[in-house]
Amino acid sequence: MKTETRRGFIKKSAVVSAGLSISAPAYIKGFMQNKPNDIINVAVAGIHDRGGLYGGTGHTANFTKIKNSRVAAICDADENLFPKAVSDIETLGGEKPMMVVDFHKLLDNKDIDAISIATPDYWHALMAIWACQAGKDVYCEKPLSYDLVEGRKMVQAARKYKRIVQTGTQYRSNRLSQKSIQLLMDGVIGDIYLGRGTVYRHRPSIGRVADSSVPAGVNWDLFRGPAPMIPFNNNHFHYNWHWYWDTATGEFGNNGVHAMDRIRMAMKINVHPVKISCCGGFYGWDSDQEVPNLQAATFEYDNGKIMELEVRSLYTPEEGGLLFFGTEGYAVLGDSFQTFMGPKKEPGLNLTVKDLEPEPVRDEYETFRIDYHFVNFLDCVRSRKQEDLLADVSEGHMSTSMMHLGNIAYRTGRKLTFNGQTEKFVDDDEANSYLNRQEYRKPYLLPEEV
């Protein structure tokens, strides 16, 4: 891939976009002539859900639609997903990608510049580390890691091999979130002492499913990867793997990370909490599910500030959102950003996306359902400026670690004390045992040193 300065790339994009806004869509095909060396070849690993079309906003969709990138390969343990994924890419104007089941074939392919990871949580670290070692840049879905130790190793690998690694916490690229967070950082409600995130998303019962034979076209060994091997069960396959401790981080990691990532930004906290507590349970359904469908956690910091997170997958009258409590008022961030000031809670700001300053290029991306988070990643792949990433791997590790700490407090059933420098719990062997998978299944081993 030909290296280009970020300034030059942005300048070129701005010139092109000026013409695009008049007459042409933001698709690669039929829009502009690309020299082969100008194109970033991306391989997408995990194409069942977010990694595929995903209503036009998934990984393959974005890397097909964004100028100067293409989906060169797709990878999944379920070959049955390939025909639709290829059809979706071609329908969006892309070329037919290479299809592989074994992830290692992507690492050995010198034509692949970057790997986009949308596999189950427990595969993220291995794939990201291997990709960095192979000289590939990485876009990795949230939660960044399956456990805290894996997250730290991902940061180490990115730095050691000088790779661009973006975490898929895409709300950081949301224009309303960006404006709201900046206002909060600037003190619009004074000093924020408490941030509260609520994630309410109804999840139906997965029921109880008996073991069965492995479906044709599914490599069950590869799908399970580093997780313990079990007989094939449809409740542990595709999306339902989210609800078991040996493969997932529960709804905390699945969606809670989006809330706490933005709260942490607004409160300007870039360290681990020192005290963590979490309660909850599983209610309402008779099913195989192991992770709770209600959790409420409190994170206390050494500067006295507090963050709270509640995730609820049951029936609820609210949709959730973010609350910020400051010394001069409080603020609510959801579909709009509102502030309420003083003891009388007098309305202050009430911002929606329509109130933001026009940004023609960003508006253009949104019109064609291109997620700017992917654009930012590709921009940094070209510039090699890790500091320009909106969600660098180190930020992803810090926010994802909060989810791991909350889950560990829930599973141990007590308030925990954490040393952020060593990234270990204080005098608590049981809690520390949850910081890393106790045994990785061969040959899917996490490197001791990256």
pLDDT tens-digit readout, 45-61? 999 999 999 999 999 99
Burial (Cβ within 10 Å: 0-12, 13-18, ≥19) of residue 98:
middle
34 pLDDT more than 80: no
Contact 444, 126 (CB under 8 A): yes
Q: Which residue type does 227 have?
A: A
Given the structure tokens 């409600």, which residue do they identify?
A: 189
Nearest Cα to Cα of residue 166 among 432, 364, 393: 393
Asked if the model's pLDDT at residue 216 lies above 60, the reply is yes
Whether 7 has a pLDDT exceeding 90, the answer reads no
What are the residue boundaries of the structural domains of the chain, listed by start? Answer: 6-172+362-392, 174-359+394-432
- pTM of the predicted protein model: 0.92
Angstrom CA distances, 229 to 18, 146, 162, 233, 344, stand at 53, 17, 34, 11, 59
* Share of residues in the chain with pLDDT > 70 (%): 92
For residue range 380-436, list pLDDT tens digits in order. 999 999 999 999 999 999 999 999 999 999 999 999 999 999 999 999 999 999 999
Non-local (6+) Cβ contacts of 362 within 8 A are 175, 372
**Locus of tokens 């973010």:** 322
For 63-71, what is the mean pLDDT?
A: 95
206 neighbors 242 (Cβ within 8 angstroms)? no
Q: Within 10 Å of residue 268's Cβ, how many Cβ atoms?
A: 12
- Enumerate the β-bridge partners of residue 416: 276
Angle at 19 between CA 17 and CA 25, to 5 degrees: 70
pLDDT tens per residue across span 225-275: 999 999 999 999 999 999 999 999 999 999 999 999 999 999 999 999 999
- Please give the structure tokens belonging to residue 27: 């698709």
Exposed/middle/buried for residue 125 (C-beta within 10 Å: 0-12, 13-18, 19+): buried
In this prediction, residue 17 has a pLDDT band, given cuts at 50, 70 and 90, of: very low
Of the candidates 112, 111, 50, which has an alpha carbon nearest to the alpha carbon of residue 85?
50
- The side-by-side arrangement of strands in the sheet containing 294-300 is 346-351, 337-341, 329-333, 320-326, 192-200, 306-312, 294-300, 275-281, 416-419, 424-425
pLDDT digits (tens, 9 = 90+) for 339-385: 999 999 999 999 999 999 999 999 889 899 999 999 999 999 999 99
The fold of 174-359+394-432 is Dihydrodipicolinate Reductase; domain 2 (3.30.360)
State the residue for tokens 């000088």: 162
Say which residue the tokens 């809690």 belong to.
431
Mean pLDDT of the chain: 92
User: For 6-172+362-392, which CATH superfamily applies?
Assistant: NAD(P)-binding Rossmann-like Domain (3.40.50.720)
The DSSP secondary-structure symbol of 169 reads: -
Alpha carbon separation from 341 to 54, 191, 264, 320 (Å, rounded): 40, 13, 22, 21
Say if residues 308 and 298 touch (Cβ distance below 8 Å): yes
Contact 246, 227 (CB under 8 A): yes
